[in-house]
Structure 1
């Protein structure tokens, strides 16, 4: 098989280890993390953005040049392979800011039944298993057709269009994609990959490292903070602070 990933030593940009990360989730997802001590890495093919994991046209052309001349429609072959890559690449997303963000609360709003896990880059990395084959870093927001695109197995998943830059994403990405010897890259190849691969991966984490604070939604009812505190204590996280969102402060 020709080289699909010509520069696999590339790494995304990375913030300081002390920088803050936020994960905005609903209460049931939060409890699931505590109960299972796992983070869910979703297949990138299931994300809202149809450009998730897509290559710019010029990058497709460069890779297609390596395809043997005997292969018909080499650019279509490359496009199918990178489409299949999306189904077997799993992503866990965080918001990288030094403070909570009103836009993110609104994006994940669920009638006040949401919380934000606050951690640091160091805490997040320490929480993950040592042997996890993960790439972590910041998403770059560029127009999709820009020229300076380094092609690796994971680089397409660290680039998004500028219309998503409010997300200010920090990601952990794991790819399990391999092209089987003799695989027939025909019109049904991507469909077959979709049918045979799971919608995500559950990766174990250390809760003590992962969770530094839990922040309660600014539109939550008064009972919500007490509920979150009780749940956090039930799971033995006695050192974790639970607090209201700063956006609840009244200036008058």
Structure 2
């Protein structure tokens, strides 16, 4: 269930377009389970996920001097936070295709922030928040730590190209133990506005995706990527 969080910022316009780039296996898993996978924060490739900038860490060390458990709690808390990453962009991103799809059989889900909010179902075991990632200099800039979500909503400036929106959830209160991540129930018809097929894929692949989606009872609009349109001379 989506819950508004007073300390987490998000673009005001619910029509802001967001994307998720993924391979066929992950897409099929989403359709078959009708659930969205959220990865455990410490399982991301970026080892800085959920950690602090240097100025913040120095401040926390002072507090932890008299309370060693304070720092240990922050370290272990990364295992209790799960994240689903989305990319803000009015248009397709060539860079995102390159980074997040390993071959020519990838897909991109296009939706909006408003649809993301509405797609998260109230029956879920955990509350989900949605926030925009802030990109800062980890050597110089301070990350607030009065809210437990803040370390997961900041990344290094070198990741600015991601323009990331995150669905984020903390399972601490539920006493849940998670391995690689957690699946949450979603309304896929609400979540997915349109599907784009990898720009370098063959026509048979687009037809396969159309058939699979239809056989599973969905009627999403499916397009071939605009990045491979015919050259006009």
TM-score range (shorter-chain normalised) is 0.7 to 0.9
**2:139 corresponding residue in structure 1:** 145
In the aligned structure 2, how far is the partner of 1:14 from the partner of 1:62?
Answer: 30
Residues 145 and 177 of structure 1, relative CA distance in 2, 3 Å threshold: farther
Q: Root-mean-square deviation (CA), in Å?
A: 2.2
Contact 1:112 1:219 in 2 (8 A): yes
In the aligned structure 2, how far is the partner of 1:98 from the partner of 1:21?
Answer: 8
**2:225 corresponding residue in structure 1:** 245
**1:232 corresponding residue in structure 2:** 213
Match of 1:160, SS state, is strand
**2:52 corresponding residue in structure 1:** 55
**Larger CA deviation: 128-137 vs 18-27:** 128-137
User: Within 5 A, what are the aligned runs for 1:149-164?
Assistant: 149-151=143-145, 152-164=147-159
> Which of residues 103, 121, 129 in structure 1 aligns to 2:95?
103
**1:223 corresponding residue in structure 2:** 204
**1:177 corresponding residue in structure 2:** 172
**1:213 corresponding residue in structure 2:** 194
Contact 1:12 1:155 in 2 (8 A): no
> Which of residues 82, 85, 89 in structure 2 aligns to 1:93?
85
Query: How many residues are aligned here?
Result: 224
Residues 65 and 9 of structure 1, relative CA distance in 2, 3 Å threshold: farther
**1:186 corresponding residue in structure 2:** none
Contact 1:64 1:78 in 2 (8 A): no
- Cα displacement (A) at 1:88: 1.1
Contact 2:104 2:198 in 1 (8 A): yes
Q: Deviations over 1:223-251 (max 9, x none)?
A: 1111111111122222x210100001122
Unaligned 5+ runs, structure 2:
none
**1:120 corresponding residue in structure 2:** 112
Matched, 1:14 2:14: no
- Cα displacement (A) at 1:144: 1.2
TM-score, normalising length: structure 1 = 0.81
Matched, 1:135 2:129: yes
**Larger CA deviation: 142-151 vs 210-219:** 142-151
Q: Deviations over 1:39-89 (max 9, x none)?
A: 0011010101111110123323444555584x4xx4xx4443222111111
In the aligned structure 2, how far is the partner of 1:55 from the partner of 1:176?
Answer: 20
TM-score, normalising length: structure 2 = 0.88
Residues 63 and 215 of structure 1, relative CA distance in 2, 3 Å threshold: same
Unaligned 5+ runs, structure 1:
1-7, 181-192
